[in-house]
Amino acid sequence: MIHVEHLRKTFTTRTGRFLSAGRRTHEAVRDVSFHIPRGEIVGYLGPNGAGKSTTVKILTGLLVPDSGAVTVGGLTPWQDRRRHVARLGAVFGQRTTLWWDLPVIESLRLLRHVYRIPHARWQENLDTFTDLLDLRPFLHTPARALSLGQRMRADLAAALLHDPELLFLDEPTVGLDVVAKDRIRDFIAHINREYEVTVLLTTHDLGDVERLARRVLIIDHGQLLFDGDLGRLQAAYGSQRELHVDFEAPVEQADVPGLTLLSHEPGRATYAFTGAAADPIARVTAHAPVRDLTVREPDIEATIRRIYEGDLLRAGVR
């Protein structure tokens, strides 16, 4: 669906004033290459200013790169823009595609004409999305009167009415409560599974990534630093796994050879370890009778934070 080869984009800005004015160049995207097959959900991650938005604007046809090759569904976005935009949908968390003063249903009716959707197909999609996103309570409410969660659900419906092959999502759950996030994540997973819509997801909410994407791309300072499975990222750069143990009785000495004791209180202890859990579990159960235990995986948010702050990927392998 998406093929990107050696993509580069540089911006030039003016510095200073009048006679002392000069120019400064900033390479927003540097030699980025990746491929996304049809029907995949990919998380595109990076700190602010990393190059994510520039990449997405090129993929949607809003920007023209300085060099490199880009095709989306066989089309070059900025050259075949009319055909290209008819096959994609986009939801940006801070912007809306709804008409501000119109009821939601009127915006959705207008979009039927914009995209020239056959009425029967439009009605079928509207009915499906109304049920999945629970739109019925606010279909006749103006967009300006919607809560953030309601507006995001309506924007998702608007972006998908015309059966796009590709969906760009930028911070789709920003500012939402837990219930609203779950509904939107479930809906995205559904349309990907049932309609094989390819999804490129840019977000700072790593709950979105864990719930939806198996593959992640990480970009920083315009360079693609990682392209691979989320589990491989955790294994390579994640913190240690944790073993939480409840003993049958209070244990005065909780140190276990081969494990790092993180915390200890009467009857309970937490250990850090790497690798498979079988050996640490065997060591703990041999140390003292155990009532219950839990293995906690490294937190993806902590992993990404360590990568950004520690520049870990630059020293590693993609």
Residues 59-92 pLDDT 10s: 999 999 999 999 999 999 999 999 999 999 999 8
What confidence score (pLDDT) does residue 49 get? 84
Calculate mean pLDDT across residues 123-131.
96
Tell whether 119 and 105 lie within a shared domain. yes
Residue 130, pLDDT > 80, answer yes
306 domain-assigned: no
Q: Per-residue confidence at 20, pLDDT binned at 50, 70, 90?
A: low
Sign of the CA dihedral with 88 first, then 93, 99, and 105 last: positive
| 230 within a domain of the structure (yes/no) | yes
Structural domain of 245: 240-297
136-176 per-position pLDDT tens digit: 999 999 999 999 999 999 999 999 999 999 999 998 888 88
Residue 9 has pLDDT above 90, yes or no: yes
Residue 174 shares a structural domain with residue 132: yes
Based on the domain organization, do 135 and 252 belong to the same domain?
no
Q: What value does the mean pLDDT of the chain take?
A: 89
At 206 the pLDDT is 79
In the chain, the amino acid numbered 33 is S
- Domain membership of residue 93 (yes or no) is yes
| pLDDT at residue 318 is higher than 50 | no
Q: What's residue 26's pLDDT?
A: 87
Which of 235, 268, 283 is the endpoint of a domain?
235
Please tell me whether residues 157 and 272 are part of one structural domain: no
Q: Are residues 231 and 244 in the same domain?
A: no
Q: Which of 186, 206, 235 is the last residue of a domain?
A: 235
Instruction: Give the per-residue pLDDT at 312.
Output: 56
Buried b (16+ CB within 10 A) or exposed e, 290-305: eeebeeeebebeebbe
- Least reliable range by pLDDT among 120-124, 173-177, 297-301: 297-301
Q: Across residues 235-263, what is the average pLDDT?
A: 86
Q: Which two tokens stand for residue 312?
A: 């870990």
304 inside domain: no
Q: What is the pLDDT of residue 276?
A: 81
* pLDDT at 303 > cutoff 80: no
Does residue 53 carry a pLDDT above 50? yes
pLDDT at residue 48, rounded to an integer: 82
DSSP 8-state assignment for residue 19: G
Higher pLDDT, 297 or 258: 258
Containing H/E element for 68? Answer: strand 67-72
Strands 223-229 and 268-273: unpaired
Percent of the chain's residues with pLDDT above 90: 64
Please tell me the total number of residues recorded for the chain in this structure. 318
Decide: helix, strand or coil at residue 214: coil
Angle in degrees, CA 310, 315, 27, rounded to 5:
80
Q: 159 and 72: one domain?
A: yes
Burial environment of residue 206 by CB neighbours within 10 A (0 to 12, 13 to 18, 19 or more): buried
- Is it the case that residue 43 has pLDDT exceeding 90? yes
Residue 153, class by beta-carbon neighbours within 10 Å (0-12 exposed, 13-18 middle, 19+ buried)?
A: buried
The reply to whether 143 and 252 lie within a common domain is no
CATH for 13 = 3.40.50.300
For residue 26, tell me if it sits in a domain.
Answer: yes
Whether residues 143 and 209 fall in one domain: yes
- All residues at 6 or more sequence positions from 261 whose CB lies less than 8 Å from its CB, including other chains: 254, 255, 269, 270, 271
Please check whether residue 311 lies inside any domain of the structure. Answer: no
**Tokens (6 digits) for 284:** 């703990």
114 & 218 share domain: yes
Q: Is the pLDDT of residue 19 over 70?
A: no
39 DSSP 8-state letter: T
**CA-closest candidate to residue 237, choices 157, 152, 178, 308:** 308
Total domain count for the chain?
Answer: 2
Residues 118 and 226 in one domain: yes
My answer on whether 125 and 224 are in the same domain is: yes
**Has residue 307 been placed in a domain?**
no
Cα dihedral value 91, 97, 101, 105, nearest 10: -80
> Where is average pLDDT lowest: 77-81, 91-95, 244-248?
91-95
> Averaged over 237-253, what is the pLDDT?
86
Give the rounded distance of the alpha carbon of 123 from its chain centre: 30
pTM of the complete model: 0.78
Could you tell me the CATH number of the domain that includes residue 281? 3.30.70
202 alpha carbon, distance to own chain's centre: 4
- Say which range, 3-7, 174-178, 266-270, 287-291, has the weakest mean pLDDT: 174-178
Q: Indicate whether 157 and 70 sit together in one domain.
A: yes
